[in-house]
A and B are shown apart, each in its own frame.
Chain A
Amino acid sequence: QVTLTESGPALVKATQTLTLTCTFSGFSLTTSGMCVSWIRQPPGKALEWLALIDWEDDKYYTPFLQTRLTISKDTSKKQVVLTMTNLDPADTATYYCAQSPNTNYDLAFTSWGQGTLVSVSS
Chain B
Amino acid sequence: QSVLTQPPSVSGAPGQGVTISCTGSSSNVGAGYDVNWYQQLPGTAPKLLIYGNTNRPSGVPDRFSGSRSGTSATLAITGLQAEDEADYYCQSYDSSLSGHNYVFGVGTRVTVL
Contact = CB atoms under 8 A, between A and B. Distances in A.
Interface of A: 37, 46-49, 52, 60-64, 66, 96, 105-115
Interface of B: 1-2, 33-34, 36, 38, 44-48, 51-52, 57, 89, 91, 93, 95, 97-107
Contact of A46 (B36, B100, B104): B104
A48 B105 CA distance: 9
A109 B45 contact: no
Contact of A110 (B34, B44, B48): B48
Chain B interface main SS type: loop
A82 to B, nearest CB: 15
Given A64-B1, A105-B33, A112 B104 contact: no
Nearest to B50: A108
Contacts of A64: 1
Top 10 nearest A-B pairs (CB, nearest first) are A60-B100, A106-B34, A108-B51, A49-B102, A108-B36, A47-B104, A105-B93, A112-B45, A63-B97, A46-B106
